[in-house]
Structure 1
Amino acid sequence: MFEQRVISANPMQGSLAAGVATLDRISKVTVSLAFLPLKRPISDAKVLTGRQKPLTEVAFLFAEIESEGGLHGLGVSYSKRAGGPGLYAHAKEIAGNLIGEDPSDIARLWTKLVWAGASVGRSGLATQAMAAFDIALWDMKAKRAGLPLAKLIGAHKDSVRCYNTSGGFLSSPIEEVLENCQASMGSGIGGIKIKVGQPDPMEDLRRVEAVRGLLGDFPLMVDANQQWDRPTAFRIGRILEQFNLVWIEEPLDAYDAEGHAKLAAMLDTPVASGEMLSSAGEHLELIRLDAVDFIQPDAPRVGGITQFLKIMTMAEQKHMKLAPHFFMELHVHLAAAYPHDSWVEHFDWLEPLFNERLDIADGRMAVPARPGIGISLSDQARAWTVATEAIAG
């Protein structure tokens, strides 16, 4: 049942006192919860090993922030399987803290929001809910400047290498995966990632061999979704060396930084991880130990763009490569602002949510020229919305 409410907040409660540099104030914040249904259930190794059920939908938290000056910012967070209603509930509780604030003070507002919900921590669901607000504020700031987000941050490139994931799930038989690979290459995609991590590693090897045979020298990645223990990862990683992979993703538990470091030191094939971590501090451990060659932060999971930029700075010092997880509409901007080699992940799942499309050609995704992130919610996104609440001053 669709729920819609409008509540009032004290516009100046806890707000920064006005100064000559305060040019605008936040006047309204709207949070919404929507569920995007997938065309069919999909499975990765977490399903085949019995840890999770097939994925049938993705929950999205939208934050829309309006200012007295007439600007509008859109932010997005998400959760797969459980968690969507929790994100929405936390966002509703803390949203009022933004009313009356200068929307340009993004770092200070991140701190204000994290302390408003500090009792439930500074990572996980709390920061994922905050991410929608943080992303909306950055969207607004770039729109104020009349610049694409990448240009506001400072772009190192105007396009980023991109690879496709959505055609390589384990729920698809190998014949379908091969068809999907051909279609992706024909669309201008620059790389293919397929899922591995099945209970029988030999079945994984057969799938990788079949895909490599089709692709030739075309860039190929594999993703084990945390399903190998250390001995299996070490053994299979050595066997996979022959396939000249761009990387092996999440070969171990996401929090096993020491194991990743040992594997990365042992293999010629690069190791990638980080998508399941939900704070900048958790990424610091991977970076400190040289545990990965490709760091894979997810802006909605780590608390938004403000925290993502901290991860980028830390990773840059180690000359790591960057491959953000999911949400290509945002991550193409962030990857373009990274000085070292970077990739973005192409998922066509999210396209119904937004009115705009991204341009892909010659293996690269172009940074859109539109101000801000360059996306707006579609009528379909509104139709999938099950609850919304507006907080106004």
Structure 2
Amino acid sequence: MQDLKNNTSGDDDQIAWVRVASVFVPLANPISDAKVLTGRQKPMTEIAILVVEIETKDGHRGLGFSYSKRAGGPGQFAHAKELAPVLIGENPSDIAKLWDKLCWAGASVGRSGLATQAIGAFDVALWDLKAKRANLSLARLLGAHRDSVQCYNTSGGFLHTPLEQLMINTDISREKGIGGIKLKVGQPDQALDLHRVSSIRKHLGDAFPLMVDANQQWDRPTAQRMCRQLEQYNLIWIEEPLDCYDAQGHAMLAQQFDTPIATGEMLTSVAEHWEFIKQGGADYLMPDAPRIGGITPYLKVQALAEHNGLMIAPHFAMELHIHLAATYSREPWVEHFEWLEPLFNERMETRDGRMLVPTRPGLGLSLSEQSARWTAQEFTAGNRP
């Protein structure tokens, strides 16, 4: 029998160095959805990215990120700066243990929201490191069901975009090999919403996948009326028709209408997703890995969704979610946004309505030179080997 005490094949690597950076990625044009038209938010002009880089004493490296829109970026960075030293000396393979350790280190500010969104960047970096060390893509490391995922474009369908430009944008998306189009709705003039949806449906044809997203701006009576009128357009889903925490209201719509109801992007913990699942509040669940604390909690949500027979369509951050969607047993959707592309040297590839899962080790991403110019703050813990 092998002497376990003398077994040197185990992993005894340690985290030696951690870098956290606050990076602000500008958007080409101010972005408006229903939350802007109803006066609840201002147009979005940039995205705050929390970048984490981890290196071990044996020279293995991992890259992770989280994000915030409109507000919260400096807060995420401040929390991550406090947490980074906690990882020094730890074994990078113990990802679940490290997630708990980071969470307890900041337990007084809660287990959801900004606190766990900061943890998410560390968690993604640890998974990236683990996959790179195995010389596998993240999808392969986790166990992929497919080499490509059907994808839809959102960035061309915002409410500030005139109808004529919407049609041009849909044509551009289809020419790029993107397989679906999502339109923003939820503005005060509901007749205008319906006109835009009707026009784009006619432009695309009856069979091309089309979704709409109200960004939580309807009350229950309005949502019922709009869902009823939208049934005729053969939509893949109606997204966030109600407040993101109204699980019961979403469940009523899901039971009443044939068109699937999609929601979940604003939820910030496994517990919040579980409440929606228990109440039947979504046909398509839309978890966002950075918003719920990274890949580790995302996999828990995905397992709950699969057990309860739900479809899944992770929100935003296609560079990360393409790997996670590829691991779901039922055919998922992944959301195509160009907004984070300038942050990285690599690009996602779309073909025949689908996004190809990268085969490079880990996430398959490296930071661009531009990211350094957009860096507002950075902090390091430990010493590079």
Task: Tell me the TM-score normalized by structure 1.
Answer: 0.94
- Give the corresponding residue for 1:97: 86
Matched, 1:386 2:370: no
Matched, 1:344 2:343: no
String of CA shifts for 1:28-81, please: whole Å, max 9, x gaps: 000000111111101000000000000011000000000011011000000000
String of CA shifts for 1:334-361, please: whole Å, max 9, x gaps: 0000001200000011111000111110
Matches within 5 A, 1:245-256: 245-256=235-246
Aligned-partner Cα distance in 2 for 1:20–1:149: 23
Matched, 1:38 2:31: no
Unpaired stretches in structure 2, ≥5 consecutive residues: 1-7
- Give the corresponding residue for 1:227: 217
Aligned-partner Cα distance in 2 for 1:149–1:23: 22
Matched, 1:363 2:348: no
Aligned-partner Cα distance in 1 for 2:193–2:12: 57
Aligned-partner Cα distance in 1 for 2:87–2:291: 20
What's the CA shift for 1:22? Answer: 3.7
Unpaired stretches in structure 1, ≥5 consecutive residues: 1-18
String of CA shifts for 1:138-188, please: whole Å, max 9, x gaps: 000000111000000000111000000000000111111111011111110
**Could you say what secondary structure the match of 1:162 adopts?**
strand
Aligned-partner Cα distance in 2 for 1:353–1:35: 9
Aligned-partner Cα distance in 2 for 1:314–1:280: 9
Aligned-partner Cα distance in 2 for 1:174–1:281: 39
**Could you say what secondary structure the match of 1:38 adopts?**
strand
What's the CA shift for 1:20? Answer: 7.2
Aligned-partner Cα distance in 2 for 1:338–1:253: 27
> For the aligned residues, what is the CA RMSD?
0.9
Aligned-partner Cα distance in 1 for 2:218–2:37: 13
Aligned-partner Cα distance in 2 for 1:20–1:195: 54
**Could you say what secondary structure the match of 2:86 adopts?**
helix
Matched, 1:325 2:319: no
What's the CA shift for 1:21? Answer: 3.3
**Could you say what secondary structure the match of 2:65 adopts?**
strand
Aligned-partner Cα distance in 1 for 2:157–2:287: 21
Matches within 5 A, 1:179-328: 179-216=168-205, 217-328=207-318
String of CA shifts for 1:86-130, please: whole Å, max 9, x gaps: 000000001111000000000000000000000000000000000
**Could you say what secondary structure the match of 2:169 adopts?**
helix
Aligned-partner Cα distance in 2 for 1:317–1:362: 30
Aligned-partner Cα distance in 2 for 1:35–1:154: 33
- Where do 4+ consecutive residues of structure 1 move more than 3 Å? 19-22
Number of residues paired by the alignment? 375
Aligned-partner Cα distance in 1 for 2:27–2:363: 24
**Could you say what secondary structure the match of 2:275 adopts?**
helix
Aligned-partner Cα distance in 1 for 2:168–2:88: 50
Aligned-partner Cα distance in 2 for 1:23–1:235: 60
Matched, 1:115 2:116: no
Matched, 1:152 2:141: yes
Aligned-partner Cα distance in 1 for 2:348–2:188: 37
Which residue identity does 2:74 align to in structure 1?
Answer: P
Task: Tell me the TM-score normalized by structure 2.
Answer: 0.96
